[in-house]
Structure 1
Amino acid sequence: MVQPQPTASEFQRLVTECRRLPPAQGNYLVHDYVENLLLTVLDFQMTGTTVGRAMDYYWRHARIKISDFAALKKLLASCPDTKEGNLQIAQYLWGYNYWNRVELLRRLVTYFEIRGVTTQEQLQEWATKVDFEKDFEGKVKGAGFAIFKWLVMRQGVETIKPDMWIHRFIYDVLGYSVSDAIAVESLEKAARETGIKVYELDWRIWEYQRSRNK
């Protein structure tokens, strides 16, 4: 059952557990435009190992030709927007049959083209100004709050992505689940109180939770 916002004492317990987390060994920042779009459609409800293998395939086999917005758009236009056409693109990009992720990629590409966000520099600028409810919610079918947060975090925006690792951490500390919005709000506030960068706190939680589940 999803509970309302934590009480003051529960929040302090959350802060205490955040302080105990080991420093992050990595970071989320991604400085390549096409990689950011591919990660946006791949890196949810999928294991990190699978995402890593798919992106490694892209860098080894497809990156030489698909390295910017124009090339990605041309690739998408080369096959029909059908299961069979999207399957061909998925195999070319990732070496996997994730045709439904290509459907999402098409919608994401259209969204950014309409807004003139077709380079990494433009993507970073967009991420610093975009408002989820006003500018993104409902505009890319299949891309919700957590996917949005993950995308802007990779551009250096100080926020939390409410994925399963975040929710497990909060549940372990508080003993109950909270909504995505409360998860983000609570951990952003906890980060400020601990002096940890918000996206680094997210990364610390991810590394900690992953280490516990090995």
Structure 2
Amino acid sequence: MKKQIELTDDEFTKLAVAVAGLPFIRPTKWETDYLEDVMHTVLNFHIQEPVVINALNFFQLQVQRQQHINDHHQLKALLAKFPNDRNGNEAAAMFLWSNRHWTRIELLRRLLDFFESIGVTDQPSLHAWIKTATFEGDFKGKVKGLGIAVWEWLRIRCGIDALKPDVWVINFAKRVVGKRISEKVLVDTFGRISPLVGESLSTIDVTIWYYEKLAMATDDNPELRLIAWNMLKNELEAKLREEVLREFNWQLILDERQRLRFEQAGLMILPDRSLFGETVPGTTSASIRQSSWEKGLQLEMLIQHETSLPLPLFQKLQENLTEQHWEASNEPYFFASLDLQEDMKMTPPMTIAELAEWVTQLVRGAVKGLRRSPPSIKPQDNNPLL
């Protein structure tokens, strides 16, 4: 047996510190069924994510709902109709998943046979077995083609706190310590790190998955993001003192620095009175916000009034906003949003000068959203949104 390469104390420390510095996100809790877990086990590794999603959706909509294949025995009976060779398995893959991944049908047959041999044929029996089972003693070598990463993924799906040593975790550790670490050592190492950073293995797992997938360590600079937000605030304050918008007193409030690094956060833009004129009193607020980092730090602009607008005003406003690609609603209060088609992910090579030019373009779009005025509205209406 090939000896596992252990980490030195220095390497373990580097990895623990790198994990502690991650912008943690919480894993989603989902309701699953037995067949969904089985399908994930044989499909969701070493295949591109869109292919997996399409296959799972097809199985759920076309096989479970239309063909009423909803339990272990029905699935085995269906597979028995296809010869267990390449052509037969390819036909079965087309029937179950609308793809030609015939080797995954081979895995599916083996997995179902193994589960049946240990008395696992539904969700309760799967959960009961996996709670006390171990990889080394109960799964390793039992299903040819399924290893420890798939095992840990199945455990996660069954509600057990675990981390799957997939390519994302392997790459994260390799980048930090400078060498490839075996899957088994990774599982043991992260098990030691989890209590040190005060986060569950499942939280570490999903955070690393997004962090590596989005190349946050190499393609993002959160400190530059803080600079960008302050640039945006300062330049927007100056612009709001110009033209029709100077009739308002504006207060701009930037969220806390720590939130701006990775969380859903941004800039509140508060006028001293309603943006809809004296006939529509009340509080109006606007904001420019980034999505959280795992959602791409996408930017959007939001405008909200505490009440709904008079219908004629809303209809005229909605027509104008639609032309500018805004989405607007008027119940139970007025709300409009605009995807700015930009994000706050900061590539490290970007200079301050390049950043300033980008911020200027962003401010132009934001101000345009606050002061647009079609010819059908009289200037004295003092409605910069129209």
TM-score (norm 1): 0.92
2:136 paired with 1:133: yes
Alignment-derived partner of residue 21 in structure 1: 22
The one-letter code sitting in structure 1 at the alignment partner of 2:91 is Q
Q: Hey, what's the Cα distance between the residues in 2 that align with 1:29 and 1:166? A: 22
Runs of 4+ aligned residues of structure 1 deviating over 4 Å after TM superposition are none
How far did 1:28 drift?
6.9
Q: What is the identity percentage for the equivalent residue pairs of Structure 1 and Structure 2? A: 35
Which is worse superposed, 160-169 or 5-14?
5-14
**Aligned with 1:104: secondary structure?**
helix
CA contact (8 A) 1:29 1:155 kept: no
In structure 1, list runs of 5 or more residues that go unmatched.
none
Q: Hey, what's the Cα distance between the residues in 2 that align with 1:9 and 1:198? A: 22
Q: 1:146 to 1:30 in 2, by over 3 A?
A: farther
Query: Paired residue for 2:175, among 172, 176, 180?
Result: 172
Query: Paired residue for 2:81, among 59, 78, 83?
Result: 78
Q: Hey, what's the Cα distance between the residues in 1 that align with 2:118 and 2:24? A: 37
TM-score (norm 2): 0.52
Q: Hey, what's the Cα distance between the residues in 1 that align with 2:100 and 2:31? A: 24
Q: How many residues align?
A: 213
2:41 paired with 1:40: yes
Computed over aligned residues only, the root mean square deviation of the Cα atoms, in angstroms, reads: 1.9
Q: Hey, what's the Cα distance between the residues in 1 that align with 2:139 and 2:12? A: 29
Map 1:109-128; keep pairs closer than 5 Å.
109-128=112-131
Alignment-derived partner of residue 147 in structure 1: 150
CA contact (8 A) 1:69 1:118 kept: yes
**Aligned with 1:63: secondary structure?**
helix
Alignment-derived partner of residue 61 in structure 1: 62
Where relative contact order (Cα < 8 A, 6+ residues apart) is larger, the structure is 1
CA contact (8 A) 1:30 1:154 kept: no
1:120-168 deviation digits (Å, cap 9, x = unpaired): 1111111111121221111111112222121122112222211110100
Q: 1:55 to 1:170 in 2, by over 3 A?
A: same
Alignment-derived partner of residue 92 in structure 2: 89
Q: Hey, what's the Cα distance between the residues in 1 that align with 2:209 and 2:139? A: 25
Alignment-derived partner of residue 108 in structure 1: 111
CA contact (8 A) 1:149 1:161 kept: yes
CA contact (8 A) 1:24 1:204 kept: yes
Q: Hey, what's the Cα distance between the residues in 1 that align with 2:150 and 2:26? A: 23
Q: Hey, what's the Cα distance between the residues in 1 that align with 2:106 and 2:31? A: 22
How far did 1:25 drift?
5.3
Query: Paired residue for 1:197, among 192, 196, 200?
Result: 200
The one-letter code sitting in structure 2 at the alignment partner of 1:37 is V
How far did 1:10 drift?
2.2
The structure in which a higher percent of residues are helix is 1
